[in-house]
Amino acid sequence: MLEAKNLKKSFGDLTAVNDVSFTIKQGEILGMIGQNGAGKTTTFRLILDFLTADSGEVLWNGKPLTKEDYNIIGYLPEERGLYPKVTIEDQLIYFARLRGKTKKEVKPLIDMWMEKFQVKGKKTDKVKALSKGNQQKVQLIATLLHDPKLVILDEPFSGLDPVNAGLLEAGIKELKDRGACVIFSSHNMNNVEEICDHLLMLRDGSAVLKGTVKEIREQFGRTKLFLETTMSKKELSELPGVKNIQLSKDGVYMIDLEDASYGESIFNTVTQNGYIPTFSQQPPTLEEIFKKKAGEPHE
């Protein structure tokens, strides 16, 4: 279990991380979101002891991380770094040995991981011969090859097409199933919503949202309506509580409500003549919440 307690880090007059706390249990995934400069990467570097916190502490299973503990961490930095003139196999063995593994232990695993992530190339190929996407897959393999118990992924989905992003999602879920603690940052709310158990949003170094995706969405109320009806857009726009209305290409009205309480009266109105194919009252999407919180005025 990873615990970050009241972490704080400043660089001169800039407070990069301000009293941030969270816990990740074994077999859990924490998604960390926030605009560029919100403090995500600095938080990762504090966990990894690349930076020294001004205050606060990081605990692994209730104790400060030791030198040996860092061998069970897998870290994918936002800025990727591979040796272009070295073969895939030699590079992966080298990184695994840095984490305390032997060549004999990891060499048989390389084919398995390359197949799992569908790397287009042979393990004897030099990294420079691979496409950018396949280079990123190799770096992901280097992050996971030594079977880490704590995995930190900084923008792992960046630059991946939907197919390869799906492969990565499956890989992260597999880590969870194996009992690893996983923390990742992303600007893609679909990735976050799909795979994380808990969510932490940072803004200007401070935590502004924390909880499960469902808990966070429900905090903002069920102010989104999706419905199919024979009523016109004009008729719907005149109903009490309707703030904004759009019609999708599929013929579904998307309505923003002033307050979730208006949903019941609108339901009664649109169903007064009987069955309608669609009526769904939902909280805002994670992306909408992200934009709202990111755009709020500073206190």
pLDDT tens digits, one per residue of 90-116? 999 999 998 888 899 889 899 999 998
Question: pTM of the entire structure?
Answer: 0.85
Residue with more model confidence, 293 or 298: 293
- State residue 252 phi and psi, 5-degree precision: -100, 125
Q: What is the model's pLDDT at position 136? A: 86
> Would you say residue 291 lies in a domain?
no
CATH number at residue 37: 3.40.50.300
Of the listed ranges 121-130, 155-164, 253-262, the one predicted with least confidence: 155-164
Number of domains in the chain: 2
pLDDT > 80? residue 167: yes
pLDDT > 60? residue 19: yes
> Would you say residue 296 lies in a domain?
no
pLDDT > 70? residue 299: no
Nearest to 142 by CA among 82, 183, 192: 82
Q: What is the model's pLDDT at position 298? A: 54
Q: What is the model's pLDDT at position 297? A: 59
Dihedral angle sign, alpha carbons of residues 130, 134, 136, 142: negative
CA-angle at 155, arms to 151 and 158, nearest 5°: 130
Last residue of a domain, one of 217, 238, 262: 217
Q: What is the model's pLDDT at position 73? A: 92
Domain of 62 in residue numbering reads as: 2-217
